[in-house]
Homo-oligomer: A and B are copies of this chain.
Amino acid sequence: MGRPRAFDEDEVVRAAVTLFAGRAYDSVSVDDLVSHLGVHRNSLYKVFGSKRGLYLAALQHYLSQELTAAELDLLLLAMAERAPVDAEVATLVDAALRDLDKALGGPAATATLLGERLRARATP
């Protein structure tokens, strides 16, 4: 019943990952999301509750996959600017970092990887 959705929820989340990985959370407006994601304002709020809800969904989807070195940007931004002011983000980030520690063989390797990617992002 009801009118069928004209958008793919997973596709929306993946596009949101790309947007949020590119610039700071506050620099990505709901207008940006609506116009780049192919989802309407109303549906965004219906499905994700808020801009923050979509951000959290995007972050979770992103952190649930294998992180390659080239795709650390959303994690970097989440660590630098969101985790300090959003406890839920901090929790997600912490879990992802522990996984990285295991995959890489220890926190030292994680720190080096993050530091290198952060620098590559800042000074291309």
Contacts and interface: CB of A to CB of B under 8 A. Distances in A.
Contact of A79 (B90, B94, B112, B119): B119
Nearest to A76: B80
B24 A83 contact: no
A118 interface: yes
Interface residues of A, number: 34
Report how many copies the assembly holds: 2
B84 A23 contact: yes
A121 interface: yes
* Interface-central residue, A90, A110, A119, by most chain B CB under 10 Å: A119
A48 interface: no
B114 A83 contact: no
Interface in A11-39: 22-27
A76 B79 CA distance: 10
A106 to B, nearest CB: 12
Interface of A: 22-27, 76-81, 83-85, 90, 93-94, 97, 107-108, 110-116, 118-119, 121-124
